[in-house]
Amino acid sequence: MVTLSAQPYDYEFPTYDGVALIIIDMQRDFLEPGGFGDALGNDVSRLQAVVPAIQSLQQAFRDRNLLIIQTVEGHQPDLSDCPPSKRCRGQSALKIGDPGPMGRILVLGEPGNAIIPALAPQPGEIVIEKPGKGAFYATPLGGILQEHGITHLLFTGVTTEVCVQTTMREANDRGYECLLVEDATESYFPEFKQATLEMVRAQGAIVGWTATTAQVLAALA
Ligand code: TIU
């Protein structure tokens, strides 16, 4: 059994092969000016801070030949997978599907929808395209995890309280042992990130554990 020092208590996994690194939505649409996050009125520059931590985890998983799954939030060009309730939400001038400086907002295949170059997947690494906030809804993620015999998920990416937390809760309900890497996830709202970390690990890890990148790397060493 491998023991990873975490909150609210140690996180344990029987084999390295059962652990996957999940990198949520590290896309230009959320991290760069002119994308979806910016259109919603957010300061997107805050999210850059977690790129080095995610890079170090990505490298550690590559070095060990362990499973890395990235997700991207995006819609088909005809928006057939975007409910009107999602497209019309909010008061921004630019809505999902509208042309922006990086192409159409939150549309698959557009320049702004790509994963940032610093975290670009290598050939053969899995990228899940998802129309919702949770990565299990309307995607093949569950089947892929089963095929690989994955039981433990380490979560990173953005934003903490939206797509990361939604996916973590979906995973928790499906029986996965989930850990959120504290300094490898970020929000446009620091108080929402802090609240998410606390609510995840409250009540004896009701949704899962939290740990730092250094603690995860120590367990992988
Ligand atoms: N708006 C916001 O905080 N997040 C999203 O819309 N998607 C993700 O979290 N990826």
Q: Is 135 in the pocket of ligand 1 (CB under 6 A)?
A: no
Task: Write down the catalytic residue from 82, 163, 183, 193.
Answer: 163
> Active site includes 133?
no
The pLDDT score that the predictor gives to residue 18 is 98
pTM, full prediction: 0.99
Task: Write down the catalytic residue from 95, 130, 133, 193.
Answer: 130
Q: What is the mean pLDDT of each run of 10 residues along the chain (221 residues)?
A: 98 98 98 97 97 98 98 98 94 94 98 98 98 98 98 99 98 98 98 98 98 98 93
The pLDDT score that the predictor gives to residue 220 is 97
- Show the 3-state SS of the chain: CEEECCECCCEEECCHHHEEEEEECCEHHHHCCCCHHHHCCCCHHHHHHHHHHHHHHHHHHHHCCCEEEEEEECECCCCCCCCHHHHHCCCCCCCCCCEEECEECCECCCHHHCECHHHCCCCCCEEEEECCCCCCCCCCHHHHHHHCCCCEEEEEEECHHHHHHHHHHHHHHCCCEEEEEEEEEECCCHHHHHHHHHHHHHHHHCCCEEECHHHHHHHHC
Q: Is 177 in the pocket of ligand 1 (CB under 6 A)?
A: no
The pLDDT score that the predictor gives to residue 69 is 99
> Rg of the Cα trace of the chain?
17
